[in-house]
């Protein structure tokens, strides 16, 4: 089996990265990489669907352990892409889309 492809959609906040990812994922039957954040969960959000919500201590531990593909700090909160979930899907031959801010 061949490895999946890791496709990054990058741009500044508010340019439509999420809309593009949503459409491509449906059309290409790919997997969307859910980001991790230290910011508080907002009404209507679901842990593991919108983001993986963790403490700053947990996030910093993941940075030190090399468990993130990338990360960024925005408004005193950390945002990043968990490496393990992405690699698991790629090894299964599944294409992965990731939405990343230009600073990530």
Tokens 């980001």 appear where? 35
- pLDDT tens digits for range 2-56: 899 999 888 877 788 778 878 888 888 899 999 999 999 999 999 999 999 999 9
- Do 84 and 32 contact (CB within 8 A), yes or no? no
Q: Which of the two residues, 62 and 8, has the higher pLDDT score?
A: 62
- Do 62 and 68 contact (CB within 8 A), yes or no? yes
Q: Which of the two residues, 104 and 83, has the higher pLDDT score?
A: 83
**Res 104: pLDDT:** 52
Backbone dihedral region of 50: left (phi > 0), alpha (psi from -120 to 50 degrees) or beta? Answer: alpha
Task: Report the alpha-carbon distance of residue 58 to residue 75 in Å, rounded.
Answer: 18
DSSP β-bridge partners for residue 7: 97
Mean pLDDT of the 77-93 span:
95
Mean pLDDT of the 83-90 span:
95
Q: Which long-range contacts (CB under 8 A, 24 or more apart) does 24-28 make?
A: 24/97, 25/97, 28/95
Task: Report the alpha-carbon distance of residue 32 to residue 57 in Å, rounded.
Answer: 25
50-to-40, 47, 92 alpha-carbon distances in Å: 12, 6, 23
Q: Is the pTM of this model over 0.75?
A: yes
């Amino acid at each position: 089996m061949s490895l999946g492809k890791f496709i990054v959609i990058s741009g500044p906040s508010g340019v439509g990265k999420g809309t593009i990812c949503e459409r491509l994922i449906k059309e290409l039957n790919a997997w969307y990489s859910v980001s991790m954040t230290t910011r508080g969960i907002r009404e209507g959000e679901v842990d593991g669907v919108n983001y993986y919500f963790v403490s700053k201590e947990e996030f910093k531990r993941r940075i030190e352990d090399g468990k993130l593909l990338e990360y960024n700090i925005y408004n005193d909160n950390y945002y990043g892409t968990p490496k393990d979930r992405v690699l698991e899907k790629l090894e299964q031959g599944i294409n992965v889309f990731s939405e990343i801010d230009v600073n990530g």
